Amino acid sequence: MSSPLQCTVPPIPPNPTFILSNPSGDLDSTISSYSLSSLIPNSVPVLNYRSTDVKLKPDSLKALELHPIDKHPLYVDDFFRYCEVESEFNIILVDHNSLSFTSPHSPSLYSKMSSRVIKIIDHHSPSNSHSHADIYLEGVASCCTLIYRKDMENVYKILVAITILVDSNFLSPTSGKTTEKDISVITSIIEDLGPQYQEIIYRHAKEVNDAKFSTEFWKGLTKKEASRIDYKEMKVEGVVVGVASVLVELESYKGGEEEEVEVDCLIIGSCVINGEEVVRELEVVEGKNKEVSEKVREWLDSGGGLLQTRRKEGDDLIWRQENAKGSRKVLMPELEKIFKD
Ligand SMILES: [Mn+2]
């Protein structure tokens, strides 16, 4: 099925307004960008990642497969090319409030783009960037809540509602995210579309949410692709260790092609839920600095601090965690300790 996420360069109107999503390119950011673009003449949604990374966005793909729209986005590298050459354009940031990219660009291009930021709509803490822009920040569960307008086309209303439900954990009062405003937007959309949409929207939101956890999705990626989905870096004393989280057994990546690691060492942590049991395992992939990987392996052999690790039986490269609550939040500071000493 062809999806608007998979298109190449769309026709760009003269003096365009680019609606730029954040570099994580998550569902909220993507739907915010598309929806706002549907309301602003001569605007183009910009997805802040490479077109080849589309396959790493299963939730956005699922949402747009369920509710296709007639809008073609610009991907980050084509956006850079346009901004380098042209000068008549404006930028609106959605779902972030400080211009940022993971794709390389020159400092002069950055200042050119920065000077064109005219408006910001976001729900994160303010960064005090772009003080010349018209800034609208509010701490709701989803940026889509702030984008919603009663005069949107129905398909955008549905996509907005799905995103708000996913971001607020289905308006859960205990998620710590849901606000009155998120609830009132959902209520207004359902009132507007008719009560039969309540069930459809909730069911589709669940499908979209589940797409991220689908084993089929994770198993279709190479180890390197999987490592980029949920990735953080620990930098201490000049050492850089990448820590990636995946939601499928590490075993499923065995036998893939050797892929180069850009940091000193890469740790891939998997979290798999088998019925009631949470299984966490770690793999250390050698990067630019062999000594760093060695140090991490030795540390894991000696029990891995709070993680309580031991080598997996019959496997030389994988460690099993006894502490199933030892998420990346626990791992990162523990890891810092071994490189600080
Ligand atoms: Mn968001």
Whether 216 is in a domain gets the answer no
Per-residue b or e along 271-280, where b marks 16 or more CB atoms closer than 10 Å to that residue's CB: bbeeeeeeeb
Q: Compute the distance between CA of residue 266 and CA of residue 244 in angstroms, rounded to an integer.
A: 8
Q: Are 87 and 27 in the same domain?
A: yes
Asked if pLDDT for residue 254 goes beyond 90, the answer is no
Q: Which residues have CB under 8 Å from 13's CB, separation 6+?
A: 42, 44
Whether 217 is in a domain gets the answer no
Asked if pLDDT for residue 260 goes beyond 90, the answer is no
Report CA(225)–ligand 1 centroid distance (Å): 23
Domain count, the chain: 2
Which stretches does DSSP call E strand in the chain?
17-20, 43-47, 74-75, 90-94, 117-122, 134-137, 231-236, 239-246, 265-274, 277-286, 309-311, 318-321
Kindly state the tokens that stand for 117.
């930021």
Per-residue b or e along 126-149, where b marks 16 or more CB atoms closer than 10 Å to that residue's CB: eeebbeebebebeebbbbbbbbbe
Report CA(89)–ligand 1 centroid distance (Å): 25
Listed residues 211, 230, 245: the one ending a domain: 211
Q: Compute the distance between CA of residue 127 and CA of residue 330 in angstroms, rounded to an integer.
A: 27
Q: Are 15 and 96 in the same domain?
A: yes
Q: Looking at residue 274, what is its pLDDT?
A: 83
Report whether 60 contacts 212 (CB < 8 A): no
Give me the domain span that covers residue 256: 222-340
Report CA(28)–ligand 1 centroid distance (Å): 5
- Provide the sign of the torsion angle of the four alpha carbons 222, 226, 228, 229, taken in this order: positive
Q: Are 9 and 40 in the same domain?
A: yes
Q: Looking at residue 183, what is its pLDDT?
A: 98
Mean pLDDT over 48-62 rounds to: 94
Model confidence pTM above 0.75: yes
Report CA(82)–ligand 1 centroid distance (Å): 26
Q: Are 8 and 118 in the same domain?
A: yes
Q: Compute the distance between CA of residue 202 and CA of residue 162 in angstroms, rounded to an integer.
A: 7
Asked if pLDDT for residue 76 goes beyond 60, the answer is yes
Element (H, E) at 226: helix 223-229
pLDDT digit string, tens, across residues 88-145: 999 999 999 999 998 889 999 999 999 999 999 999 999 989 989 999 999 999 999 9
Nearest to 201 by CA among 177, 221, 185, 222: 185
Which CATH number belongs to the domain containing residue 264 in this structure?
A: 3.10.310.20
Q: Are 10 and 149 in the same domain?
A: yes
Report whether 297 contacts 284 (CB < 8 A): yes
Report CA(335)–ligand 1 centroid distance (Å): 29
Q: Looking at residue 4, what is its pLDDT?
A: 53
Q: Looking at residue 224, what is its pLDDT?
A: 86
Mean residue pLDDT across the chain: 93
Asked if pLDDT for residue 205 goes beyond 70, the answer is yes
Q: Compute the distance between CA of residue 171 and CA of residue 9 in angstroms, rounded to an integer.
A: 36
Higher pLDDT, 10 or 259: 10
Q: Are 239 and 323 in the same domain?
A: yes
Residue 154, Cβ neighbours under 10 Å: how many? 12
Whether 186 is in a domain gets the answer yes
Report CA(95)–ligand 1 centroid distance (Å): 5
Listed residues 211, 235, 263: the one ending a domain: 211
Q: Compute the distance between CA of residue 124 and CA of residue 178 in angstroms, rounded to an integer.
A: 14
Which CATH number belongs to the domain containing residue 93 in this structure?
A: 3.90.1640.10
pLDDT digit string, tens, across residues 274-302: 888 999 999 999 999 999 999 999 999 99
Report CA(189)–ligand 1 centroid distance (Å): 19
Whether 162 is in a domain gets the answer yes
Asked if pLDDT for residue 2 goes beyond 50, the answer is no
Asked if pLDDT for residue 220 goes beyond 50, the answer is yes
Report CA(141)–ligand 1 centroid distance (Å): 7
Q: Are 203 and 232 in the same domain?
A: no
Kindly state the tokens that stand for 191.
């009132």
**Share above pLDDT 90 across residues of the chain, in percent, rounded to a whole number:** 79
Q: Compute the distance between CA of residue 131 and CA of residue 150 in angstroms, rounded to an integer.
A: 29
What length is written for the chain? 341
pLDDT band at 257; cut points 50, 70, 90: low
Report CA(124)–ligand 1 centroid distance (Å): 7
Q: Are 138 and 18 in the same domain?
A: yes
Q: Are 178 and 259 in the same domain?
A: no
Q: How would DSSP label each residue in 62-113? A: HHHHHS--S---EEHHHHHHHHHH----EEEEES-SS---SS---HHHHHHH
Q: Compute the distance between CA of residue 66 and CA of residue 61 in angstroms, rounded to an integer.
A: 9
Kindly state the tokens that stand for 159.
């996509």
Half-sphere exposure of 314 (CA within 13 A, CB side): 1
pLDDT band at 304; cut points 50, 70, 90: very high
Asked if pLDDT for residue 222 goes beyond 90, the answer is no
Q: Looking at residue 322, what is its pLDDT?
A: 95
Nearest to 332 by CA among 294, 304, 303: 304
Amino acid letter for position 318: I
Report CA(287)–ligand 1 centroid distance (Å): 32
